[in-house]
């Protein structure tokens, strides 16, 4: 006997005259191996074609489908209904501008974050098309890739108390990004340069250390370690800025 | 209504679109990319296993060079490609990958010394040389003579896309995400930009651009089961075809990847087999060596998919509630290898199948994966038929893939074509000005607004989702891996009926704002036209070549069919008009034996 699921879904379409925020219930019979990607698409096809949500790769790779699932930020595509109770409450990810229903504007947020963090390789060296690539230790490449795995889904922002309190907080995704460039020998920025970017309370010193980010990251990024690492480096840099003779 | 002016409008912000945009921005031009999704969610991010570039750093790639890469690519294409383009591609791939390295991609590197690897089920040993230590390494992929697929674990596309977008941010390339181009603005000779719908608000805008690029990826989602992201519905090809003057090339050339997982159709990388994984049947026995003694699991994708299908037809498939499948076995590679070099595969298996691939077999079957066909361009990326229109990446038929793309050649194409087409776009922008006829712009805006108004007020017609499902099922049932005249006739007939339904839809929602139902309704007639280009092109091509396998014409026919299909769709027609051009003008390698696949050949001289 299949379970009868009740989906309670946040509804609000800012573009629809007369629309007001509220929850709407949909009934749906569970099938084997059902996940939220399949369920939401079938609800849209069979019950309400105006329902807005975001899926793209539906394979846990692109980060499009983050939402709050029974109170916890996560990727909808890889959430199986079998892991959830009969009643499933879906809310849009907080901290981002709402597009409609479960759809939020993560694109603008992450573009702005990447601009603020200046998240690209800073180097004076020009690319030489005739030269072989610069040698790098494979272990270093793997360490960079480890942090490069962030899919900018926004779960860490949705789960971050500071980000909910202040919209200019850069969040764990930004600190992880900075840590990725700190590791990369191709990026010639030094700690003073990084301090200019994240050595503030919109950056690393705004983190209250609640570490909801680490708990919800669907890619299991070592966010706790990275936050500690960046904080330690930037703390030392702060000291150095005040006491020029201080050495790491 | 809002009108936005720019030098270059890129429709699509995946690897190819952004690479072209960066080239134009670096030359000093204002560049805007449109994207259905935030750029880093583009489907480029889902490319897993690697990018082909003949660096020859690792020991199993020793002696590799662009010549060998070129040969592999031409054979892989079953001689359907343009050899001049394949040559430009292979020659430039090493440069393009080193530039991506300079920009920050964390490629895996050569580690000197002895290590183990697997080929088929067998454990072997190799020794990497000290003098290549720290250079970009590579893994084995199908249809190649050397280990050439450079990689970052199995998140290669992700790492490349994030790096590419970071360079786009650095150079001030603007991205207008959540937008969808509904039509090109043109006067039958010159492209002037596009009419675009905002997917945040539903607003219509016109973008007027001196050059316009289509880099919107493939159209796999015309099939019910596809490894593609849900956004790969062919938007770019649709607006090109709708001009009536721009042809789509080789639309019948559709790739089925051997290892989509069952159920959900998510891809697991060819790197699984490249790293030594094997395919097993219902008796848990390897079967590929009996069909392909030389290449076994590492023949080209079209061949492996056909062999799997053949083997299942002999009753050797595994029955499941989701249909028949075979097994992919990577258990012998060991947990450490899987969690470092195949970690996306590890995650996908655990999250979507509930299976640990270090302990259990992975259920797989051939699944629609790649569109070799697309907007036909010349070797500089300029689209046929409209001046000022360009195309690159999977959206285009440039055409280095012919009738079958090799694994790892699509990531490589995005950055190589992006670089080369980017240069030609920048050159075009240096030279070419444009007179804008505002009546033309207003006329196109009005036309699209009327389409929206008609759909929103329609009281009769069918629901868009149902019509889409019908189209998808027809392609699954009649235009799959093996094709024949009877099925293809049926497909064309049924799709023509579906086209009529798609042109008379009724919404059950209001269609306000960014309504997903309205979005589909606007896109659907174009999707069905693409489906008809695929089915009709396949019906007319009376031979087998690469991924196009006709049961009733099993031979590759170089005498009559060494040609590229061009599908035009002038307004008001029920079917596309097909023309043909020679597959290649330059012939470096005359048609011959691929060395795998065992296909009979009718030679050009006969």
Per-residue pLDDT tens digits for B307-352: 999 999 999 999 998 999 999 999 999 999 999 999 999 999 999 9
Q: How far apart are CA B326 and CA B309, in angstroms?
A: 9
A244 touches chain B (CB under 8 A): no
Tens of pLDDT along B106-158?
Answer: 999 999 999 999 998 899 999 999 999 999 999 999 999 999 999 999 999 99
Alpha helical stretches, state H, B245-326: 271-274, 288-291, 301-311
Report phi then psi at A91, rounded to 5. Answer: -125, 155
**Nearest chain B Cα distance for residue A5, angstroms:** 20
Residue ranges of B 219-238 with Cβ closer than 8 A to chain A: 229-231
Please determine, for the modelled complex, whether the ipTM score is greater than 0.95: yes
Return the closest-CA partner of residue B184 out of B398, B389, B412, B489: B389
Q: Would you say A197 and A178 are in contact if contact means Cβ atoms under 8 Å apart?
A: yes
Q: Would you say B195 and B46 are in contact if contact means Cβ atoms under 8 Å apart?
A: no
CB contacts of A101 in chain B (<8 Å) are: none
Task: Supply the residues of B annotated as catalytic.
Answer: 257, 273
Return the closest-CA partner of residue B36 out of B2, B4, B12: B12
H/E segment holding residue B180: strand B179-186
H/E segment holding residue B119: strand B113-119
- Whether residue A45 and residue B465 make contact (CB cut-off 8 A), yes or no, is yes
The number of angstroms, rounded, from the C-alpha of B496 to the middle of its chain's C-alpha atoms is 25
Pairing of strands B549-550, B482-483: parallel
Q: How far apart are CA A40 and CA A34, in angstroms?
A: 10
Q: Would you say B536 and B554 are in contact if contact means Cβ atoms under 8 Å apart?
A: no
A176 touches chain B (CB under 8 A): no
Tens of pLDDT along B408-431?
Answer: 999 999 999 999 999 999 999 999
Q: Tokens 């690492």, residue? A: A229
Return the closest-CA partner of residue B247 out of B401, B378, B384: B384
A133 touches chain B (CB under 8 A): yes
- Whether residue A58 and residue B177 make contact (CB cut-off 8 A), yes or no, is no
Q: Tokens 């992929």, residue? A: B141
DSSP E strands in B147-306: the ranges are: 149-150, 174-177, 179-186, 191-198, 204-214, 248-249, 254-261, 278-280
- Whether residue B229 and residue A63 make contact (CB cut-off 8 A), yes or no, is no
As given in the structure block, the two tokens for residue A148 are 């490069």
The number of angstroms, rounded, from the C-alpha of A209 to the middle of its chain's C-alpha atoms is 17
Q: How far apart are CA B467 and CA B499, in angstroms?
A: 9
CB contacts of B514 in chain A (<8 Å) are: 15, 52, 99-100, 103
- Whether residue B40 and residue A55 make contact (CB cut-off 8 A), yes or no, is no
Q: How far apart are CA B148 and CA B138, in angstroms?
A: 5
H/E segment holding residue A47: none
Q: How many CA atoms lie within 13 A of B157 on its CB side?
A: 26
A148 touches chain B (CB under 8 A): yes
The burial of B201, by beta-carbon neighbours within 10 Å (0-12 exposed, 13-18 middle, 19 or more buried), is given as middle
pLDDT at B50: 96
Which residues are within 8 A (CB) of B25 and not within 5 positions of it... i.e. 6 or more apart?
B31, B168, B171, B172, B173
- Nearest residue on chain A to B229, alpha-carbon basis: A57
Question: Beta partners for B391?
Answer: B214
Q: How far apart are CA B319 and CA B366, in angstroms?
A: 15
CB contacts of B97 in chain A (<8 Å) are: 133
pLDDT at A1: 76
Name the residue facing A148 among B136, B159, B347 (closest C-beta): B159
**For every one of its 248 residues, what pLDDT tens digit does chain A have, with 9 covering 90 and above?**
799 999 999 999 999 999 999 999 999 999 988 999 999 999 999 999 999 999 999 999 999 999 999 999 999 999 999 999 999 999 999 999 999 999 999 999 999 999 999 999 999 999 999 999 999 999 999 999 999 999 999 999 999 999 999 999 999 999 999 999 999 999 999 999 999 999 999 999 999 999 999 999 999 999 999 999 999 999 999 999 988 777 65
What single-letter DSSP state applies at residue B367? Answer: E
Residue ranges of B 21-60 with Cβ closer than 8 A to chain A: 37-43, 45-46
Return the closest-CA partner of residue B375 out of B141, B587, B212, B507: B212
Rounded mean pLDDT, B479-495: 98
A166 touches chain B (CB under 8 A): no
As given in the structure block, the two tokens for residue A190 are 């030094």
**Nearest chain A Cα distance for residue B374, angstroms:** 21
Q: What is the mean pLDDT of chain B?
A: 97
Q: How many CA atoms lie within 13 A of B292 on its CB side?
A: 27
Alpha helical stretches, state H, B223-324: 235-241, 271-274, 288-291, 301-311
What single-letter DSSP state applies at residue A135? Answer: P
Q: What distances in angstroms separate CA A128 from CA B52, B101, B102, B151, one per listed residue?
A: 20, 11, 9, 21
CB contacts of B342 in chain A (<8 Å) are: none
Tens of pLDDT along B13-53?
Answer: 999 999 999 999 999 999 999 999 999 999 999 999 999 99
Q: How far apart are CA A50 and CA A11, in angstroms?
A: 10
Return the closest-CA partner of residue B274 out of B410, B149, B157, B361: B149
Q: How far apart are CA B148 and CA B64, in angstroms?
A: 8
pLDDT at B340: 93
- Nearest residue on chain B to A137, alpha-carbon basis: B134
A82 touches chain B (CB under 8 A): no
Which residues are within 8 A (CB) of B131 and not within 5 positions of it... i.e. 6 or more apart?
none
A141 touches chain B (CB under 8 A): yes
A86 touches chain B (CB under 8 A): no
As given in the structure block, the two tokens for residue B332 are 């012998």
A63 touches chain B (CB under 8 A): yes
What single-letter DSSP state applies at residue B387? Answer: B
- Whether residue A50 and residue B509 make contact (CB cut-off 8 A), yes or no, is yes
Return the closest-CA partner of residue A222 out of A170, A158, A145: A145
Name the residue facing B134 among A121, A135, A186 (closest C-beta): A135
What single-letter DSSP state applies at residue B313? Answer: I
Rounded mean pLDDT, B282-303: 96
Rounded mean pLDDT, B492-514: 96
Return the closest-CA partner of residue B249 out of B120, B435, B402: B402
Question: Beta partners for B193?
Answer: B185, B208
CB contacts of A63 in chain B (<8 Å) are: 40-41
Name the residue facing B202 among A15, A58, A105 (closest C-beta): A15
Q: Could you report how far apart the first and last alpha carbons of chain A are, in Å?
A: 65
Which residues are within 8 A (CB) of A126 and not within 5 positions of it... i.e. 6 or more apart?
none
Report phi then psi at B310, rounded to 5. Answer: -60, -45
Does residue B1 surpass a pLDDT of 90?
no
B65 touches chain A (CB under 8 A): no
The verdict on whether omega for the bond into residue B55 sits within 30 degrees of 0, i.e. cis, is no
- Whether residue A141 and residue B463 make contact (CB cut-off 8 A), yes or no, is no
Name the residue facing B200 among A62, A99, A131 (closest C-beta): A99
pLDDT at A248: 56
Rounded mean pLDDT, B215-227: 98
- Whether residue B133 and residue A135 make contact (CB cut-off 8 A), yes or no, is yes
A59 touches chain B (CB under 8 A): yes
Name the residue facing A138 among B111, B178, B463 (closest C-beta): B111
- Whether residue B351 and residue A15 make contact (CB cut-off 8 A), yes or no, is no
- Whether residue B508 and residue A134 make contact (CB cut-off 8 A), yes or no, is no
Q: Would you say B175 and B8 are in contact if contact means Cβ atoms under 8 Å apart?
A: no
pLDDT at B118: 96
């Amino acid at each position: 006997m299949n379970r009868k699921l009740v989906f309670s879904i946040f509804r609000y379409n800012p573009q629809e005259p007369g629309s007001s925020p509220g929850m709407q219930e949909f009934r749906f019979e569970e099938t084997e191996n059902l996940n939220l990607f399949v369920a939401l698409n079938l609800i849209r096809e069979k019950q309400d074609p105006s329902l807005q949500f975001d899926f793209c790769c539906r394979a846990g790779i692109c980060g499009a489908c983050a939402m709050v699932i029974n109170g916890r930020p996560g990727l909808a595509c890889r959430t199986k209904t079998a892991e959830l109770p009969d009643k499933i409450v879906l809310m849009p990810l907080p901290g981002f501008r709402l597009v409609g229903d479960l759809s939020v504007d993560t694109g603008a947020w992450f573009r702005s974050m990447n601009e603020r963090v200046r998240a690209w390789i800073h180097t004076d060296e020009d690319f030489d098309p005739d030269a072989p690539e610069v040698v790098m230790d494979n272990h270093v490449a793997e360490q960079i890739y480890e942090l490069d795995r962030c899919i900018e889904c926004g779960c860490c922002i949705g789960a971050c108390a500071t980000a909910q309190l202040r919209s200019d907080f850069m969040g764990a995704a930004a600190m992880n990004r900075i840590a990725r460039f700190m590791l990369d020998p191709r990026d010639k920025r030094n700690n003073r340069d990084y301090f200019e970017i994240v050595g503030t309370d919109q950056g690393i010193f705004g983190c209250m250390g609640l570490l909801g980010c680490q708990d919800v990251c669907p890619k299991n990024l070592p966010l706790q370690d990275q936050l500690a690492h960046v904080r330690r480096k930037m703390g030392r840099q702060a000291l150095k800025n005040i006491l020029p003779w201080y050495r790491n | 209504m809002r009108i936005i002016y720019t030098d270059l409008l890129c429709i699509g912000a995946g690897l190819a679109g952004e690479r072209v945009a960066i080239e134009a921005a670096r030359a000093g031009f204002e560049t805007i990319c449109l994207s259905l999704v935030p750029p880093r969610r583009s489907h480029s991010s889902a490319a897993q296993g690697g990018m082909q570039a003949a660096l020859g750093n690792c020991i199993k790639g020793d002696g590799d060079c662009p010549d060998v890469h070129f040969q592999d690519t031409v054979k892989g294409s079953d001689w359907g490609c343009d050899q001049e383009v394949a040559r430009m591609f292979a020659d430039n791939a090493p440069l393009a990958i080193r530039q991506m390295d300079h920009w920050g991609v964390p490629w895996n590197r050569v580690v000197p010394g002895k290590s183990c690897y697997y080929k088929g089920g067998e454990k072997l040993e190799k020794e990497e040389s000290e003098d290549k230590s720290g250079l970009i390494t590579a893994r084995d992929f199908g249809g190649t003579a050397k280990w050439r697929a450079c990689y970052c674990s199995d998140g290669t596309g992700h790492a490349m896309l994030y790096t590419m977008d970071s360079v786009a941010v650095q150079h001030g390339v603007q991205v207008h995400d959540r937008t969808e181009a509904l039509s090109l603005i043109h006067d039958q000779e010159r492209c002037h930009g596009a009419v675009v719908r905002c997917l945040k608000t539903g607003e219509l805008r016109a973008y007027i651009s001196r050059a316009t690029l289509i880099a919107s990826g493939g159209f796999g989602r015309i099939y019910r089961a596809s490894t593609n992201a849900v956004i790969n519905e062919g938007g770019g090809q649709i607006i090109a075809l709708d001009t009536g003057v721009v042809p789509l090339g080789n639309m019948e050339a559709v790739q089925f990847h051997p290892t989509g997982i069952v159920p959900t159709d998510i891809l697991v990388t060819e790197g699984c087999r490249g790293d030594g994984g094997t395919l097993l049947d219902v008796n848990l026995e390897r079967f590929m060596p009996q069909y392909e003694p030389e290449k076994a699991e590492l023949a080209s994708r079209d061949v492996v998919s056909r062999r799997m299908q053949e083997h299942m037809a002999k009753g050797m498939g595994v029955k499941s509630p989701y249909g028949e499948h075979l097994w992919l076995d990577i258990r012998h590679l060991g947990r450490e290898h899987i969690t470092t070099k195949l970690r996306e595969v590890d995650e996908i298996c655990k999250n979507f199948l509930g299976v640990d691939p270090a302990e259990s077999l992975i259920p797989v079957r051939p699944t629609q994966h790649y569109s070799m066909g697309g907007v036909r361009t010349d070797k500089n990326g300029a689209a046929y038929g409209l001046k000022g229109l360009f195309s690159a990446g999977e959206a285009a038929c440039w055409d280095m893939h012919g009738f079958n793309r090799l694994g790892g050649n699509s990531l490589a194409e995005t950055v190589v074509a992006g670089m080369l087409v980017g240069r030609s776009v920048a050159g075009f922008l240096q030279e070419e000005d444009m007179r804008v006829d505002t009546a033309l712009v207003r006329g196109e805006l009005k036309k699209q607004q009327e389409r929206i108004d008609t759909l929103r007020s329609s009281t009769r017609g069918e629901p868009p989702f149902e019509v889409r499902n019908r189209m998808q099922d027809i392609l699954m049932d009649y235009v799959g891996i093996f094709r024949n005249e009877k099925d293809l006739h049926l497909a064309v007939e049924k799709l023509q009926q579906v086209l009529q339904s798609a042109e008379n839809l009724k919404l059950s929602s209001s269609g306000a704002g960014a309504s997903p139902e309205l979005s589909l309704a606007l896109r659907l007639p174009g999707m069905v036209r693409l489906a008809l280009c695929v089915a009709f092109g396949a019906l007319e091509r009376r031979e087998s070549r690469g991924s196009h396998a006709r049961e009733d014409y099993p031979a590759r026919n170089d005498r009559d069919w060494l040609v590229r299909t061009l599908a035009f769709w002038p307004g008001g027609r029920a079917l596309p008009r097909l023309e043909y051009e020679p597959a290649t003008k330059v012939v470096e390698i005359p048609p011959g034996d691929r060395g795998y696949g065992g296909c009979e050949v009718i030679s050009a001289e006969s």
